[in-house]
Amino acid sequence: MPRYSDERNAAVLKKLLPPQNRSVVSVAAEEGIFDATLYSWLKQCREQGMLVPGNRNTGEDWPPRSQTGCCR
């Protein structure tokens, strides 16, 4: 199993987040990374409290800092 650098991980994840909002499948195909790997990376981000696509939270249960973080 390949190990990806933190820089590559961040660059790939950036494609999944706004403003690009690309699908996991399209980014995985473009980058040559299994889509399961990208889903795993997104899960790790969620567990660290980051707001990422696929998070089923509505925002009402987010901490106040996260609710306003996108408006800065």
Residue 33 located in a structural domain: yes
The answer as to whether 17 is a domain residue is yes
* Domain, as residue range, for 48: 6-71
- In one-letter notation, the amino acid at residue 58 is T
What would the pLDDT profile of 23-59 be if each residue is shown by its tens digit? 999 999 999 999 999 999 999 998 998 888 765 555 5
Q: Identify the DSSP state of 71.
A: G
Residue 26 forms part of a structural domain: yes
Query: In this structure, are residues 35 and 43 in contact, taking their beta carbons and an 8 Å threshold?
Result: no
pLDDT surpasses 50 at 72: no
How many angstroms from the chain centroid is the CA of residue 63?
A: 19
CATH number for the domain including 21?
1.10.10
Q: For residue 1, is it within any domain?
A: no
By the 8 A CB rule, do 38 and 2 touch? Answer: no
Give the pTM: 0.69
Give the pLDDT confidence score for residue 58 in this predicted structure.
Answer: 52
| Residue whose tokens read 């994840």 | 13
pLDDT confidence band for 9 (50 / 70 / 90)? very high
